[in-house]
Protein backbone atom coordinates (compact mmCIF):
# COMPACT_ATOMS: atom_id res chain seq x y z
CA UNK A 1 0.00 0.00 0.00
CA UNK A 2 1.23 3.50 -0.89
CA UNK A 3 -0.09 6.51 1.00
CA UNK A 4 0.20 10.20 0.12
CA UNK A 5 -0.59 12.88 2.68
CA UNK A 6 -1.23 16.52 1.81
CA UNK A 7 -1.73 19.09 4.50
CA UNK A 8 -1.91 22.80 5.01
CA UNK A 9 -2.60 22.50 8.72
CA UNK A 10 -0.25 22.18 11.63
CA UNK A 11 -1.80 19.03 13.07
CA UNK A 12 -4.00 17.57 10.38
CA UNK A 13 -4.56 17.05 6.70
CA UNK A 14 -5.91 14.74 4.06
CA UNK A 15 -4.60 11.35 3.03
CA UNK A 16 -4.95 9.24 -0.10
CA UNK A 17 -4.13 5.56 0.23
CA UNK A 18 -4.05 2.92 -2.51
CA UNK A 19 -3.34 -0.79 -2.60
CA UNK A 20 -1.45 -2.07 -5.64
CA UNK A 21 -0.89 -5.63 -6.87
CA UNK A 22 2.75 -6.24 -7.79
CA UNK A 23 1.62 -8.77 -10.37
CA UNK A 24 0.26 -5.82 -12.33
CA UNK A 25 2.63 -2.96 -11.66
CA UNK A 26 5.84 -1.93 -9.98
CA UNK A 27 6.57 1.20 -7.93
CA UNK A 28 7.36 3.28 -11.01
CA UNK A 29 3.98 2.40 -12.55
CA UNK A 30 2.22 3.14 -9.24
CA UNK A 31 3.75 6.62 -9.31
CA UNK A 32 2.52 7.13 -12.89
CA UNK A 33 -0.99 6.12 -11.79
CA UNK A 34 -1.04 8.48 -8.81
CA UNK A 35 0.28 11.37 -10.88
CA UNK A 36 -2.38 10.82 -13.58
CA UNK A 37 -5.10 10.47 -10.94
CA UNK A 38 -4.10 13.78 -9.41
CA UNK A 39 -4.14 15.44 -12.83
CA UNK A 40 -7.65 14.12 -13.52
CA UNK A 41 -8.81 15.44 -10.12
CA UNK A 42 -7.71 18.93 -11.16
CA UNK A 43 -8.94 18.65 -14.77
CA UNK A 44 -5.39 18.96 -16.04
CA UNK A 45 -4.03 17.32 -19.19
CA UNK A 46 -1.94 14.20 -18.67
CA UNK A 47 1.75 14.99 -18.34
CA UNK A 48 2.55 11.46 -19.53
CA UNK A 49 0.47 8.74 -21.18
CA UNK A 50 1.22 5.14 -20.14
CA UNK A 51 2.55 2.64 -22.65
CA UNK A 52 1.22 -0.93 -22.63
CA UNK A 53 3.24 -2.20 -25.60
CA UNK A 54 4.38 -5.61 -24.35
CA UNK A 55 6.08 -6.14 -27.72
CA UNK A 56 8.82 -3.83 -26.46
CA UNK A 57 9.84 -6.69 -24.19
CA UNK A 58 9.84 -9.47 -26.78
CA UNK A 59 12.83 -11.82 -26.46
CA UNK A 60 15.51 -11.86 -29.12
CA UNK A 61 15.66 -14.53 -31.80
CA UNK A 62 17.83 -16.42 -31.23
CA UNK A 63 17.89 -15.76 -27.50
CA UNK A 64 21.08 -15.42 -25.50
CA UNK A 65 21.74 -15.00 -21.80
CA UNK A 66 24.55 -15.32 -19.29
CA UNK A 67 24.57 -18.42 -17.10
CA UNK A 68 24.75 -16.17 -14.02
CA UNK A 69 21.00 -15.57 -14.36
CA UNK A 70 20.44 -19.17 -13.29
CA UNK A 71 21.67 -18.15 -9.83
CA UNK A 72 19.44 -15.06 -9.60
CA UNK A 73 16.06 -16.77 -10.11
CA UNK A 74 14.40 -20.00 -8.99
CA UNK A 75 11.11 -21.72 -9.95
CA UNK A 76 8.08 -20.44 -8.07
CA UNK A 77 7.11 -24.03 -7.30
CA UNK A 78 10.07 -24.33 -4.92
CA UNK A 79 9.12 -21.20 -2.96
CA UNK A 80 7.11 -21.46 0.25
CA UNK A 81 5.89 -17.94 1.09
CA UNK A 82 5.97 -16.63 4.63
CA UNK A 83 2.51 -16.51 6.13
CA UNK A 84 1.48 -13.35 7.91
CA UNK A 85 -1.51 -14.00 10.21
CA UNK A 86 -0.67 -10.82 12.09
CA UNK A 87 2.08 -8.24 11.78
CA UNK A 88 5.17 -9.38 13.62
CA UNK A 89 3.87 -12.92 14.08
CA UNK A 90 6.47 -14.26 11.66
CA UNK A 91 9.38 -12.33 13.15
CA UNK A 92 9.11 -9.47 10.63
CA UNK A 93 8.19 -5.95 11.70
CA UNK A 94 7.23 -2.85 9.74
CA UNK A 95 8.63 0.62 10.49
CA UNK A 96 8.82 4.03 8.83
CA UNK A 97 11.59 6.57 9.38
CA UNK A 98 12.78 9.99 8.27
CA UNK A 99 16.45 10.46 7.42
CA UNK A 100 17.41 14.11 7.23
CA UNK A 101 19.32 15.45 4.21
CA UNK A 102 22.37 16.49 6.26
CA UNK A 103 22.64 12.97 7.70
CA UNK A 104 22.52 11.44 4.22
CA UNK A 105 25.22 13.80 2.97
CA UNK A 106 27.50 13.04 5.92
CA UNK A 107 26.99 9.30 5.47
CA UNK A 108 27.97 9.63 1.81
CA UNK A 109 31.19 11.37 2.85
CA UNK A 110 31.98 8.62 5.36
CA UNK A 111 31.35 5.80 2.89
CA UNK A 112 33.23 7.36 -0.02
CA UNK A 113 36.96 7.77 -0.60
CA UNK A 114 39.01 10.46 -2.29
CA UNK A 115 39.38 8.15 -5.28
CA UNK A 116 35.72 7.22 -5.60
CA UNK A 117 32.51 8.90 -4.48
CA UNK A 118 29.59 6.51 -4.13
CA UNK A 119 25.92 7.41 -4.53
CA UNK A 120 23.75 8.15 -1.50
CA UNK A 121 21.71 5.00 -2.08
CA UNK A 122 24.86 2.87 -2.25
CA UNK A 123 26.20 4.40 0.97
CA UNK A 124 22.93 3.98 2.88
CA UNK A 125 22.58 0.40 1.64
CA UNK A 126 26.15 -0.31 2.71
CA UNK A 127 25.41 0.97 6.21
CA UNK A 128 22.36 -1.29 6.57
CA UNK A 129 24.21 -4.31 5.15
CA UNK A 130 27.13 -3.79 7.51
CA UNK A 131 24.79 -3.57 10.51
CA UNK A 132 22.51 -6.55 9.81
CA UNK A 133 25.58 -8.74 9.20
CA UNK A 134 26.07 -8.63 12.97
CA UNK A 135 23.01 -10.83 13.37
CA UNK A 136 24.83 -13.65 11.61
CA UNK A 137 25.77 -16.86 13.42
CA UNK A 138 28.45 -19.53 13.12
CA UNK A 139 26.23 -21.68 10.87
CA UNK A 140 24.78 -18.69 8.99
CA UNK A 141 27.84 -16.60 8.20
CA UNK A 142 27.01 -15.42 4.68
CA UNK A 143 25.05 -12.19 4.23
CA UNK A 144 23.32 -11.10 1.02
CA UNK A 145 22.23 -7.74 -0.33
CA UNK A 146 19.97 -7.23 -3.33
CA UNK A 147 19.47 -3.96 -5.19
CA UNK A 148 16.25 -3.49 -7.17
CA UNK A 149 17.11 -2.04 -10.60
CA UNK A 150 14.56 -0.47 -12.95
CA UNK A 151 14.95 -1.70 -16.52
CA UNK A 152 13.20 1.17 -18.31
CA UNK A 153 16.38 3.14 -18.91
CA UNK A 154 18.46 0.01 -19.51
CA UNK A 155 16.77 -2.09 -22.20
CA UNK A 156 16.60 0.65 -24.82
CA UNK A 157 20.09 2.00 -24.20
CA UNK A 158 21.50 3.11 -27.52
CA UNK A 159 18.02 3.37 -29.06
CA UNK A 160 16.72 6.86 -28.28
CA UNK A 161 13.18 6.25 -29.55
CA UNK A 162 12.76 2.97 -27.65
CA UNK A 163 14.16 4.53 -24.47
CA UNK A 164 11.63 7.38 -24.72
CA UNK A 165 8.73 4.94 -25.12
CA UNK A 166 9.91 2.71 -22.28
CA UNK A 167 10.03 5.72 -19.95
CA UNK A 168 6.23 5.49 -19.78
CA UNK A 169 5.98 1.69 -19.78
CA UNK A 170 3.25 0.51 -17.39
CA UNK A 171 3.80 -2.87 -15.78
CA UNK A 172 6.72 -4.66 -14.15
CA UNK A 173 10.19 -4.06 -15.49
CA UNK A 174 12.84 -4.65 -12.85
CA UNK A 175 15.50 -7.05 -11.66
CA UNK A 176 17.11 -7.80 -8.30
CA UNK A 177 20.81 -8.62 -8.71
CA UNK A 178 22.41 -9.51 -5.40
CA UNK A 179 25.79 -10.15 -3.87
CA UNK A 180 27.07 -12.38 -1.06
CA UNK A 181 29.82 -11.63 1.44
CA UNK A 182 31.00 -13.23 4.64
CA UNK A 183 29.70 -11.75 7.84
CA UNK A 184 33.27 -11.24 9.08
CA UNK A 185 34.23 -9.16 6.03
CA UNK A 186 31.15 -6.96 6.31
CA UNK A 187 31.74 -6.35 10.00
CA UNK A 188 35.52 -5.91 9.97
CA UNK A 189 36.12 -3.99 6.75
CA UNK A 190 35.46 -0.21 6.51
CA UNK A 191 32.17 1.22 5.32
CA UNK A 192 33.82 2.42 2.09
CA UNK A 193 34.73 -1.19 1.22
CA UNK A 194 31.12 -2.29 1.75
CA UNK A 195 29.91 0.65 -0.39
CA UNK A 196 32.20 -0.50 -3.20
CA UNK A 197 30.67 -3.98 -2.99
CA UNK A 198 27.17 -2.48 -3.15
CA UNK A 199 28.21 -0.50 -6.23
CA UNK A 200 29.35 -3.71 -7.92
CA UNK A 201 25.99 -5.37 -7.24
CA UNK A 202 23.98 -2.52 -8.72
CA UNK A 203 26.32 -2.11 -11.68
CA UNK A 204 25.85 -5.75 -12.67
CA UNK A 205 22.16 -5.08 -13.24
CA UNK A 206 22.48 -1.73 -14.97
CA UNK A 207 23.82 -2.99 -18.26
CA UNK A 208 21.33 -3.31 -21.11
CA UNK A 209 22.60 -6.85 -21.72
CA UNK A 210 21.44 -7.88 -18.25
CA UNK A 211 17.80 -7.04 -19.03
CA UNK A 212 17.92 -8.25 -22.62
CA UNK A 213 19.36 -11.51 -21.35
CA UNK A 214 16.71 -11.65 -18.63
CA UNK A 215 13.95 -11.38 -21.24
CA UNK A 216 15.55 -14.20 -23.22
CA UNK A 217 15.99 -16.27 -20.05
CA UNK A 218 12.34 -15.78 -19.06
CA UNK A 219 11.21 -16.91 -22.52
CA UNK A 220 13.37 -20.02 -22.27
CA UNK A 221 11.88 -20.84 -18.83
CA UNK A 222 8.30 -19.91 -19.65
CA UNK A 223 7.02 -23.37 -18.69
CA UNK A 224 8.29 -22.91 -15.12
CA UNK A 225 7.65 -19.33 -13.87
CA UNK A 226 10.37 -18.04 -11.59
CA UNK A 227 11.05 -15.35 -9.02
CA UNK A 228 14.18 -13.69 -7.56
CA UNK A 229 16.26 -16.12 -5.55
CA UNK A 230 17.11 -13.63 -2.81
CA UNK A 231 13.37 -13.08 -2.29
CA UNK A 232 12.66 -16.78 -1.98
CA UNK A 233 15.61 -18.07 0.03
CA UNK A 234 17.90 -15.12 0.71
CA UNK A 235 18.42 -15.70 4.43
CA UNK A 236 19.13 -19.43 4.37
CA UNK A 237 22.86 -18.79 4.74
CA UNK A 238 22.59 -15.68 6.89
CA UNK A 239 21.14 -12.14 7.06
CA UNK A 240 19.65 -10.87 3.78
CA UNK A 241 18.20 -7.58 2.64
CA UNK A 242 16.75 -6.05 -0.54
CA UNK A 243 16.89 -2.28 -1.07
CA UNK A 244 14.55 -0.52 -3.49
CA UNK A 245 14.60 3.18 -4.36
CA UNK A 246 11.80 5.43 -5.58
CA UNK A 247 13.90 8.54 -5.01
CA UNK A 248 13.76 9.74 -8.61
CA UNK A 249 9.99 9.59 -8.92
CA UNK A 250 8.19 12.98 -9.18
CA UNK A 251 5.97 12.44 -6.13
CA UNK A 252 5.74 16.20 -5.52
CA UNK A 253 3.50 16.30 -8.62
CA UNK A 254 0.87 14.17 -6.90
CA UNK A 255 -1.37 17.11 -6.02
CA UNK A 256 -5.14 16.60 -5.79
CA UNK A 257 -5.90 20.28 -5.23
CA UNK A 258 -5.21 20.37 -1.49
CA UNK A 259 -1.62 21.55 -1.74
CA UNK A 260 1.71 19.84 -2.20
CA UNK A 261 2.12 16.45 -0.46
CA UNK A 262 4.04 16.52 2.79
CA UNK A 263 4.69 12.80 3.03
CA UNK A 264 4.66 9.59 1.02
CA UNK A 265 4.91 6.31 2.88
CA UNK A 266 4.38 2.63 2.14
CA UNK A 267 3.44 -0.69 3.68
CA UNK A 268 4.69 -3.69 1.77
CA UNK A 269 4.40 -7.12 3.46
CA UNK A 270 5.99 -8.86 0.53
CA UNK A 271 6.23 -12.29 2.11
CA UNK A 272 9.81 -12.88 1.03
CA UNK A 273 12.61 -14.56 2.97
CA UNK A 274 14.83 -11.45 2.98
CA UNK A 275 14.14 -8.08 4.56
CA UNK A 276 12.93 -5.19 2.43
CA UNK A 277 13.78 -1.47 2.53
CA UNK A 278 12.15 1.21 0.37
CA UNK A 279 13.63 4.69 -0.05
CA UNK A 280 11.32 7.56 -1.05
CA UNK A 281 12.14 11.24 -1.51
CA UNK A 282 10.30 13.53 0.86
CA UNK A 283 7.88 15.61 -1.27
CA UNK A 284 8.94 18.65 0.75
CA UNK A 285 11.91 18.97 -1.61
CA UNK A 286 14.41 19.52 1.19
CA UNK A 287 16.40 16.36 0.46
CA UNK A 288 15.01 14.29 3.35
CA UNK A 289 14.19 10.63 2.78
CA UNK A 290 11.24 8.56 3.95
CA UNK A 291 12.63 5.09 4.69
CA UNK A 292 10.24 2.15 4.96
CA UNK A 293 11.53 -1.10 6.46
CA UNK A 294 9.95 -4.55 6.61
CA UNK A 295 12.61 -6.73 8.22
CA UNK A 296 13.25 -9.21 11.00
CA UNK A 297 12.77 -7.80 14.48
CA UNK A 298 16.31 -8.63 15.64
CA UNK A 299 17.77 -6.91 12.57
CA UNK A 300 15.64 -3.82 13.14
CA UNK A 301 16.76 -3.68 16.77
CA UNK A 302 20.37 -3.84 15.59
CA UNK A 303 19.79 -1.00 13.14
CA UNK A 304 18.13 1.16 15.78
CA UNK A 305 21.00 0.53 18.22
CA UNK A 306 23.73 1.22 15.68
CA UNK A 307 22.09 3.99 13.64
CA UNK A 308 19.19 5.21 15.74
CA UNK A 309 20.75 8.67 15.78
CA UNK A 310 20.26 8.80 11.99
CA UNK A 311 16.72 7.38 11.81
CA UNK A 312 13.85 9.47 13.07
CA UNK A 313 10.48 7.68 13.51
CA UNK A 314 7.95 8.83 10.94
CA UNK A 315 5.34 10.63 13.03
CA UNK A 316 3.40 13.89 12.94
CA UNK A 317 6.26 15.43 14.86
CA UNK A 318 8.29 15.47 11.64
CA UNK A 319 5.72 17.70 9.97
CA UNK A 320 5.24 20.04 12.92
CA UNK A 321 8.80 20.56 14.11
CA UNK A 322 12.17 21.34 12.60
CA UNK A 323 14.67 20.29 15.19
CA UNK A 324 18.41 20.24 14.71
CA UNK A 325 19.57 16.72 13.93
CA UNK A 326 22.68 15.11 15.46
CA UNK A 327 25.72 14.62 13.28
CA UNK A 328 26.60 11.18 11.91
CA UNK A 329 29.00 9.42 14.20
CA UNK A 330 32.25 8.38 12.57
CA UNK A 331 32.59 5.01 14.31
CA UNK A 332 31.48 3.01 11.24
Every domain of the chain and the residues it spans: 2-74+90-320
Distance CA(294)–CA(300), nearest Å, equals 9
Q: Beginning with the edge strand found earlier in the chain, give each strand of the sheet holding 14-18 in spatial order.
A: 14-18, 2-6, 261-266
Supply the CATH classification number for the domain 2-74+90-320.
3.30.559.10
Distance CA(94)–CA(87), nearest Å, equals 8
Distance CA(220)–CA(65), nearest Å, equals 10
Looking at the DSSP bridge assignments, the partners of residue 46 are none
pLDDT of 18 reads 82
Distance CA(245)–CA(249), nearest Å, equals 9
pLDDT of 48 reads 86
Distance CA(38)–CA(207), nearest Å, equals 34
pLDDT of 79 reads 74
Distance CA(124)–CA(246), nearest Å, equals 14
Q: What are phi and psi of 291, to 5 degrees?
A: -115, 120
pLDDT in tens, the chain (332 residues): 555 544 433 445 677 788 888 888 898 898 888 889 989 989 999 988 899 998 989 999 999 998 888 889 988 877 766 554 444 446 899 999 999 999 999 999 999 988 889 999 999 999 999 999 999 999 999 999 999 999 988 887 777 888 889 989 999 999 999 999 999 999 999 999 999 999 999 988 888 889 999 999 999 988 888 889 999 888 999 999 999 998 887 777 788 888 777 777 777 777 788 999 999 988 777 889 999 999 999 999 999 999 999 999 887 776 665 434 444 444 44
Closest CA to 93 of 276, 286, 222: 276
CA angle 317, 319, 324 (to 5 degrees): 70
- The full length of the chain comes to 332
CA distances from 202 to 153, 205, 304 (A): 14, 5, 25
Distance CA(213)–CA(70), nearest Å, equals 11
Distance CA(33)–CA(40), nearest Å, equals 11
pLDDT of 297 reads 93
CA torsion sign, 34 to 36 to 40 to 42?
Answer: positive
CA distances from 9 to 254, 259, 260, 282, 322 (A): 18, 11, 12, 18, 15
Amino acid sequence: MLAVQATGFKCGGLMVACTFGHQIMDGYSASMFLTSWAEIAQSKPFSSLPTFRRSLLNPRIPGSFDSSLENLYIPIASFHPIKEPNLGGNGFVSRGYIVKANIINQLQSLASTNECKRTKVECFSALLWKIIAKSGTADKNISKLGILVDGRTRIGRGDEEKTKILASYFGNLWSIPYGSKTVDDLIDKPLSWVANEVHGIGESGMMSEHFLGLLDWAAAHRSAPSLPKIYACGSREGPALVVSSLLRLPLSKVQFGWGRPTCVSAYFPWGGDAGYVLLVQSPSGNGDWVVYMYILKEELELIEREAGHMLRPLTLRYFNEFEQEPLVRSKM
